[in-house]
Amino acid sequence: MAAPKAARRLQPSKVRVAVIGLAVVAAWMGMGYRLFQIQVVQAADLAEQGLNQRLVSRDLAPQRGKIFDRNGELLAMTVQAQSIYAVPSQVEEPLWVAQQIGGPLGADTDVLYQRLISDREFVYIKRQVEDVVADEVLGLEIRGVYSHPEPTRIYPAGAVASHVTGFVNIDGDGQEGLELVYDEELRGTPGKAEFERDLQGRVIPQGYSRIVPAIPGVDLNTTIDLPLQYQAQQACVLALEQTGAISCWVVVLAVETGEVLAMVGAPIFDPQTRQTQDPSCEQAEDPVACRAFSNFIVRGIYEPGSTQKLITVAAALEEGEVSIGTVFPEVPDELELRDDACRFADDELYGCYRDFENHATEDMSVAQIFTRSSNIGTIKIAETLGQDRLIQYIEAFGLGSKTGIDYTAEAPGILNFEAGCATCWASAAIGYSVAVTPLQMAAAYAAIGNDGIWTTPHIVSSKTDVDGETQVAGMQTRRVVSSGTALLMRELLALVVEKGTGAAAAIDGYRVGGKTGTANKLGDDGRYTETTRASFVGMAPINDPKVVVAVLIDAPSFDYRTGGLSAAPVFAAVMKQALHRLGVTPDGHQR
């Protein structure tokens, strides 16, 4: 019996084999279980984790839209530049490095040194430099100094169109001008790119990728004529030199369409560097005080003086209260609307009104009053209208409210007809007690040039996006006076240039019409000073006006204190170029 028992007893080798077999089976089962866990249960999560390790997501910056003038010339565009940065912990000799890279970058060595020794892990050395400069810096092969591409806004016309385009900040956000007005449309829509990359950072072909392309910003096609813009700016700069004025502003409007053909100011500033090019401004403690960046044509308000008389006379003609030949008897050169208002020689307004030049009391027709710019005569014309109708026409011509131009922070102006003011109507009739922008005045004159129809001024004519070009709508028109009244007013404006105060505005070959304006500036004490704002607003050719030019010169020297002396020559220079640029046929008129 022992033998069978012994036979049944397992041999040790078989036991070991069985144990090993079981271990192998168990191991395989364990591996199988783990494989099942990995490949089935956790498959999705693990696949996602793996993908995330390889997946890179990048924001695709949209290309900011361009800005063009009316002829397709570039006014603003975005290109790639290089931004130089440093990792201070990697820079071994900060002072030497600052000296080396300071020259090519045109940066102050001390400032660079302070940045290079800072505790931060990343500091910008200089942002948005040209590739050539970046190459020069990177060519030094300095450890810790690197670059990365960054878009930068370029204004190839420089300062010529700076008051139109405005500018962006270092991060490409619109800050001023069209850049600010149309910022959202110009900046476009960012895109996104997701792709797999290998350990070396290379894109894995056939790997997962998803690209949502960025939508570039719209291009703006403006109504600005760049050569005319330049000529107007040059005329303004020259006027500043000659007259010693603080600033000069010019706006050119196309009469029929309300298109702004030019809009310039001096002192000028460079939109690229955001620095004024007027030395006196740069030396000032607060350059912003020069207001070079702010567009006075749209935002600045001033008392227009005699240019306002166009509205007063047009209203009286339209209402049939007077005709051109209506004679006002015994018009003096001084008028008191308040007792003892003119007691002192320097009393101005607040009930005391004087003509610019002394003259004997005489009979004056409406035409004479207008061409000689008689304040007293104009007040007498306004008297026939009454305050309510005068205000009605002032408002109809667009004063006291925004024109609706596509520009930022437009000023509505001020109409000061407070209750109880017995003389405000008289002041308003001759351009005081109201404050307007040069653009409002240009638009009012354009209405006369356009047979009595007022049109919204605008700068952008169309936009071009990925779907093509679309016209900008929204221009409004309204009739303010009849075409007959407009025709009479144009004739009066022509007489001002031919026989009145605007002789310097005449141009060979074209019959020009316009009105001078000279308004005293208010002092800090609330009284009028001897300092003036000289202006001229006019149009040509007077028989079929195509262009209106408004010129405002702020605080010219005494020798140039009137609109006829300082603003009219600028008008003539700009109008001549505008007519040539538009190809307007001369009417043969000789001055």
Site string for another protein, 450-489 (x = CB under 8 A): ----------------------------------------
Complex with another protein: residue 22 or 204, whichever CB lies closer: 204
Residues 322, 323, 325, 328: what is their CA dihedral angle, to the nearest 10 degrees? Answer: 10
3-state SS class at 145: strand
Contact positions with another protein (CB under 8 A) in 102-121? none
Number of residues that bind another protein (CB under 8 A): 23
Quote the Cα angle for 402-406-408, to 5°: 75
- Number of Cβ within a 10 Å radius of residue 498: 18
- Give residue for tokens 């030949």: 325
- Give residue for tokens 């009979």: 363
Closest CA to 265 of 499, 534, 554: 554
Contact positions with another protein (CB under 8 A) in 30-89? 73-74, 77, 79-80
Q: In the set 103, 156, 213, 523, which binds another protein (CB under 8 A)?
A: 156
Could you tell me the two tokens for 133? 């400069």
Q: Which range, of 28-36, 97-105, 156-164, 241-249, touches another protein by CB under 8 A?
A: 156-164
DSSP assigned state of 171: T
Measured between alpha carbons, how far is 237 from 244 in angstroms, rounded to an integer?
10
Amino acid found at 83: S
Q: Which range, of 99-107, 153-161, 488-496, 538-546, touches another protein by CB under 8 A?
A: 153-161
Closest CA to 252 of 537, 588, 542, 489: 537
- Give residue for tokens 């009105």: 515
Complex with another protein: residue 429 or 505, whichever CB lies closer: 505
Q: At residue 481, what are phi and psi to the nearest 5 degrees?
A: -140, 165
3-state SS class at 226: helix
Closest separation in Å from C-beta 330 to another protein: 44
Complex with another protein: residue 230 or 454, whichever CB lies closer: 230
Complex with another protein: residue 168 or 226, whichever CB lies closer: 226
Could you tell me the two tokens for 252? 């050119």
- Number of Cβ within a 10 Å radius of residue 171: 8
Closest separation in Å from C-beta 577 to another protein: 8
Complex with another protein: residue 407 or 510, whichever CB lies closer: 510
- Residue 430 · residue 353 · CB < 8 Å: yes
Provide the sign of the torsion angle of the four alpha carbons 134, 140, 145, 146, taken in this order. positive
- Number of Cβ within a 10 Å radius of residue 316: 26
Query: Is residue 154 a contact residue for another protein (CB under 8 A)?
Result: yes
Closest separation in Å from C-beta 229 to another protein: 8
Complex with another protein: residue 262 or 444, whichever CB lies closer: 262
Q: At residue 303, what are phi and psi to the nearest 5 degrees?
A: -80, 120
Complex with another protein: residue 74 or 123, whichever CB lies closer: 74
Q: Which range, of 140-148, 157-165, 359-367, 446-454, touches another protein by CB under 8 A?
A: 157-165
Q: In the set 129, 226, 239, 488, which binds another protein (CB under 8 A)?
A: 226
Could you tell me the two tokens for 462? 């169309």
Complex with another protein: residue 202 or 343, whichever CB lies closer: 202
Amino acid found at 568: A
Complex with another protein: residue 55 or 74, whichever CB lies closer: 74
Query: Is residue 213 a contact residue for another protein (CB under 8 A)?
Result: no
Contact positions with another protein (CB under 8 A) in 180-209? 203, 205-206
Query: Is residue 508 a contact residue for another protein (CB under 8 A)?
Result: yes
**Which residues of the shown chain bind another protein in the complex (CB under 8 A)?**
73-74, 77, 79-80, 154, 156-160, 203, 205-206, 226-227, 230-231, 234, 508-509, 586, 588
